[in-house]
Copies of this chain bind each other. A is one copy, B any other.
Amino acid sequence: MQVIADNLHIIRPEIQAAVEKKNAGPIRDLVNQCITAGADGIDINSGPLSRDPEGTMTFLVETVEQVTDRPILIDTTNPTAIRAGLKAAGNRVIINGISPEPVKLGHILPLAAEFDVPVIGYLLNEAGHVPGSEAEGYDIALALLKAAESAGLPRERLMIDPIVAPLMWESGTAHNRDIIALIRSLPDVLGYPVKTIAGVSNLTTGDAPAPKKRLMEAAFLPMLADAGLDMALLNVFHEDTVRLARACEALTRGELFSWAAIP
């Protein structure tokens, strides 16, 4: 299980200010800290970028690449910004991502096909809600696969994000049990070794004491790892969570004595 930093987010005031002034320093510093903390990749969450999507995404991608050659996730639904990011990037890129709304599929899937990059499909229904059952999740995944293939994207390029629900939600716990089952079964259901990614920080969105949030994160992450999750999108400044992800990797995919390499 790789660890992808979700820290580079436009809602952080210092990042928003740096983006507005095209000031690379604070962004480089943050990305440097993420790499030091163990990030295997960086999610660039730029939001919708209604103003200057091309210039902003180009600036963000170029700034991140000044620090690291690890993969970048372009996290926006703005196709103009995505195209600019794909053109600017030298690192490996993943588009994050698409929900099954026809407009978004129509704009973004062709970009993934044109640039031959992976794209993350969200298991959300057309109303933008999480599915009400495990079965509905498979239906959405199959619809995303069909749309991807129709757009000329090889199936191996479609990744799935089953969408972790906040525990605060009334049905959050039940939904999160469904997504564990989904992650485990999607390769069989879709018929190829589909890669999966999950936003672990979503689990503890809302108002609760920090130690309790970390505890629930620590209980959930190994379950995701055991189900076969490929990438965990999380706050890499949660040092214990990153360490736990390494331990999970040693237990779930490790070769002989690989746990011995854990610091």
A binding-site residues for B, Cβ under 8 Å: 167, 170-171, 173, 176-177, 180, 212, 215-216, 218-223, 225-227, 243-244, 247-248, 250-252, 254-259, 262-263
Check A262–B212 contact: CB distance below 8 A.
Answer: yes
Task: Indicate if the CB atoms of B216 and A173 lie closer than 8 Å.
Answer: no
Interface SS, A side: helix
Count of identical protomers in the assembly: 2
**With a CB–CB cut-off of 8 A, which chain B residues contact A176?**
251
The one of B180, B216, B218, B225 that contacts A218, using a Cβ cutoff of 8 Å: B218
Q: Which residues of B contact A250 (CB under 8 A)?
A: 173, 216, 219
> Bound complex: CA of A198 vs CA of B57, how far in Å?
51
The answer to whether A223 touches B220 (Cβ under 8 A) is: no
Which of A219, A225, A252 has most chain B Cβ within 10 Å? A219
* Residue pair A219, B167 in contact (C-beta under 8 Å): no
Closest CB in chain B relative to A79 CB, distance in Å: 37
